[in-house]
Amino acid sequence: MIDLHSHIAWGYDDGAVDEDESMAMARVYVAQGVTTVAATPHVAFGWATPLLDLDERCAQIVDRCRALGLTLELVPSAEVYLMADTLRWLEGRELGCRPLGASRYVLTEFNLGGSPNEAIRPLGDLIDAGWRPILAHAERYQFFWRHPDRLAELIEMGVSLQVTNGSLLGEFGSGARQLGERLIEADLTAVVASDAHHAWRRRPTMAEGRARVAELVGEPTADRLCHGNPAAILANESIAVTGDPAALMPQKSFLGALT
């Protein structure tokens, strides 16, 4: 499996606190059958530490893994908070703003408690410039619990969606679980990832998440969301998402359809 959303690199944000915890997370990943992890620290001006030495820090983790006989590849990447200047930050690699590996795919987010209104323009800017935004933990935005049709609008713009394992396992409440399952079952999800932050809570749960996806939609789709699409993204290739965003639109009642 490949995890495209992880805070395994220590010392940048609210993820791993030190190198030892990064290594503890690495051991969990290997035990779960994960071979590649995109290290995606937050890029958010004002609170996250600039990712200026991320390549070196990832290499240090990989070297320690090899010394212990653990096979794990880390791909230096970022989780980018969407703001008006996001495109400029990305193209100038300001303060470590970067895509997933060497691809044109960019893991993005906005305020979990807010609306997508302020995110639409920077997402459009990225798409117009040839980048391929992926919205991190799409199922956790409370706004979309109430207005899933607005999430459909983002999909139609060209935004891909990442669903988090923990949501499918009930770790973020019923709203996130219900929307996450709906996105999986409607085949509107590009990637399932862990968004792991620590070795002791919000842990890497790729194996459990993949098992839940397989329960919902079968083994082939579970493999596509946890390996095939992530591998294609890192190779900068097209990904398979075949669902119709109309599945998120409000459904008219039978009586309403007659009036």
Average pLDDT of the chain is: 94
| Domain residue ranges in the chain | 2-258
Give the pLDDT of residue 253: 43
- Can you tell me the mean pLDDT for 175-182? 98
Number of other CB atoms surrounding residue 30 within 10 Å: 18
> What is the DSSP code string of 91-124?
HHTGGG---STTSSEEEEE--TTS-THHHHHHHH
Q: Which residues on adjacent β-strands are paired with residue 81? A: 109
Give the pLDDT of residue 251: 63
CA–CA separation, 94 and 79 (whole Å)? 13
Give the pLDDT of residue 9: 97
CATH pick for 2-258 out of 3.90.1640.10, 3.40.50.2020, 3.20.20.140, 1.10.150.120: 3.20.20.140
Give the pLDDT of residue 47: 63
- Residue 250, pLDDT above cutoff 90: no
- Residue 50, pLDDT above cutoff 90: no
Torsion region of 69: left, alpha or beta (phi above 0 gives left; psi -120 to 50 gives alpha): left
Digit-coded pLDDT (tens) for 52-107: 899 999 999 999 999 999 999 999 999 999 999 999 999 999 888 999 999 999 99
pTM: 0.94
- Residue 228, pLDDT above cutoff 50: yes
- Residue 241, pLDDT above cutoff 60: yes
Digit-coded pLDDT (tens) for 13-37: 999 999 999 999 999 999 999 999 9
Evaluate whether 25 touches 198 at the Cβ level (below 8 Å).
yes
Burial class (CB in 10 A: 0-12, 13-18, 19+), 158: middle
